[in-house]
Structure formats: structure tokens, C-alpha cells
Amino acid sequence: MIPYSLLDLAPVVAGSTPAEALANTLDLARHAEAWGYTRYWLAEHHNAAGIASAATSVVIAAVGAATRTMRIGSGGVMLPNHSPLVIAEQFGTLASLYPGRIDLGLGRAPGTDQLTAHALRRDVNAAAENFPRDVMELQLLLGDPVEGQRIQAIPGSGTHVPVWILGSSLFGAELAAYLGLPYSFASHFAPDALLPALKIYRDTFRPAAEGGKPYAMPALQVIAADSDAEARRLFTSTQQTFVNMRRGTRGLLPPPIDDIETYWTEQEKAQAGHMLTYAVVGGPETVRAGLRRFIELTAADEVMVTGSVYDHAARLRSFAIVAEAMKTL
């Protein structure tokens, strides 16, 4: 058995509120800890009506208070939206509140549309150029202070919060390998570069310390239920969401529908199907087989699963089935 972890997008479903979504996040986190999940990560998205985790470090703090032992962190913080010092202070504070439990996953995408990126005071054009430098600056701020260092993150300095690089292209793989950091690939929505990125990461990895080894945690969509038919119906909420993204009509997570074929065009079906290449959808046996194939394909050191389900009880059942499957692989 390899470790298995959970990425929660704190979905706001149609007919509900962000407050209800966050209450569901805390409930899911408590269950996930009991089910043996290693990490519980939350993602930074802005101006997204269907995602309640924009203030990512604040939600992580709440999850930390609701759990006792499970690692918690970001999957991820979009570092170019922030100064490294502010993130070092935020995650240094989290590490002080929940010692030995905090992960800091970093991405370079805006986590939003271009207009909102400008509202965040983000220099979109400089993001790719500055991201590696900002990551290294953040590592320094979280490391032990050196003599003469005039700027320190307090809290943060000396906490050595583990830093992860997240990515959906070859760029993040190359950077993670260069810096000797663990790496998570977003195959749950960007499947194309999964295998090339993992190969580059492993082939070019440079240990940051003696004995350091590459550590890869790909992510994938999993929707599980007690039957294949029920899982496929629940999955239509995610399929609608991906179609709506293409249509430019983002919104709250929609309820499942009986026949997804009535919702999309053939082109939209192909586009959504491609983005969800690595989705695993089905009953317990189907999910177990799908997880096994994905782990064998990627040689994953750990798996990060995500899945937005309209009904909270059904979502709990989905992640419970995943945990049961992982324990028997």
C-alpha cells in the first residue's frame, strides 16, 4: 500500500453557500483522517463561485483545528499572487500552530482568470520568470536564519515547512528536479504532460540533501459509489463543470443529471473527456482496478485524489470507498 491523500476544492454546490461548503470541508477532513488519508490539501482559486478556498491558509488553519494528526496544506498556493515573505509568515504561523503537520504546495498559475489576476495586483507576464526565484526566496525564509540576515519571517524562520512544486506542464517538473523537491502533477485536469513530466522529474532530479530522492504524487479525479451506475450519475456534476468552463459559464457545482448526452455537444464531450482522461469512476471494484492501473502507469510514490460530488453524504461515501480500495491494493 502506498500513501493516499485528498485534494479538497471546497465545492459550493447549487443552492448552497460558501459557509456550507466550508462546514462540509471540515466534516470531510475529520472523516478523511479517520479513513487513513495522509494529507488534506486545499487549493487557491479566486473569483470562482463554486470554490470556497480562496483564503487558503485560513481554511487550512480551520482544518488543522478540526483534525489531530493528518498532514494539512496547500495544493496549492499560487505563489506569484503573493510575496514570498507573506507566505512564509502565513505557513510559519500554521507550522507553529500545528507543528509537524504542514505542507506548502506551490504553483505558478493565477488560479483565476486574467482580469482577476490583475485585481490581485499580479504581474502576469513576469510570473514564469520570477517563480523559481520566489520559490528559493521562500525556502530561505522558512529555513534557519543566517548571520546578518535582516529580513526574517516571524513566525516562519526555522520552521522548515516542506515545500512541494505543483504543475501541469514540464516546467514544474524541471524546477522540482532542479531544487530537489517533491512534485505533484495535476493529471486530474491536465493529462497531456503527465508521463513526460514524471520522466523528466525522475531523470534530472538533484538531491537537495544527502539521501534525497524524487518523490512524485500525481493527482486524479475519483468518483466512487456503491455501483458503477450510481458513480457515473454522480460524475455528471464534474462533467457539466468542465463543459461550463469551456462555455465561459463557470458557477456553482451543478446537481447530477440522468443523461449527460443531453447536456453537451460532441465537441464538448470530446474536450471534457480528454481533460478527464485519468478520472476513475465506478463502484468499489471498478475504483480499485482504476487506482491500481494509475499507480502502475505512473509508478507513483503517493496518490492525491480529488472529486466534487453534489450531495455531501455521497461525497463522504466516495472518499470512504477510495480509502478502502487503497488499503487493499
* Of 28-37, 74-83, 216-225, minimum mean pLDDT range: 74-83
pTM > 0.75:
yes
Domain 1-167 has CATH 3.65.10.10: no
* Of 115-124, 139-148, 160-169, 294-303, minimum mean pLDDT range: 115-124
41 pairs with which residues across the strands? 7, 73
How many CA atoms lie less than 13 Å away from 125 in the CB half-sphere?
0
d(CA 141, CA 238): 38
- Give the mean model confidence (pLDDT) for residues 108-135: 74
Query: C-alpha cell of 328?
Result: 487493499
Residue 96 neighbours by CB under 8 Å, 6+ apart = 155, 159
Q: What is the pLDDT of residue 192?
A: 94
Q: Report residue 244: phi and psi, to 5°.
A: -65, -35
- The 10s digit of each residue's pLDDT in 235-261 is 999 999 999 999 988 899 999 999 999
Q: What is the CA 286 to chain-centroid distance, rounded?
A: 23
* Identity of the amino acid at 141: L
User: What are the residue boundaries of the structural domains of the chain, listed by start?
Assistant: 1-167, 220-300+307-329
d(CA 107, CA 184): 10
pLDDT band at 124 (very low <50, low <70, confident <90, very high): low
- The 10s digit of each residue's pLDDT in 286-300 is 999 999 999 999 999
- Give the mean model confidence (pLDDT) for residues 35-41: 98
d(CA 137, CA 66): 31
pLDDT band at 109 (very low <50, low <70, confident <90, very high): confident
Would the pLDDT of 47 be above 70?
yes
Would the pLDDT of 111 be above 70?
no
pLDDT band at 217 (very low <50, low <70, confident <90, very high): very high
What is the enclosing helix (H) or strand (E) of 76? Answer: strand 71-78
Residue 178 burial by Cβ neighbours in a 10 Å radius (0-12, 13-18, 19+): middle
Nearest CA to 50 out of 254, 186, 275 is that of 254
What is the enclosing helix (H) or strand (E) of 86? Answer: helix 84-97
- Give the mean model confidence (pLDDT) for residues 192-216: 95
The per-residue pLDDT of the chain, averaged, comes to 94
Q: What is the CA 140 to chain-centroid distance, rounded?
A: 24
pLDDT band at 209 (very low <50, low <70, confident <90, very high): confident
Would the pLDDT of 119 be above 80?
no
Give SS3 for 207: coil
d(CA 255, CA 238): 9
Q: What is the CA 87 to chain-centroid distance, rounded?
A: 17
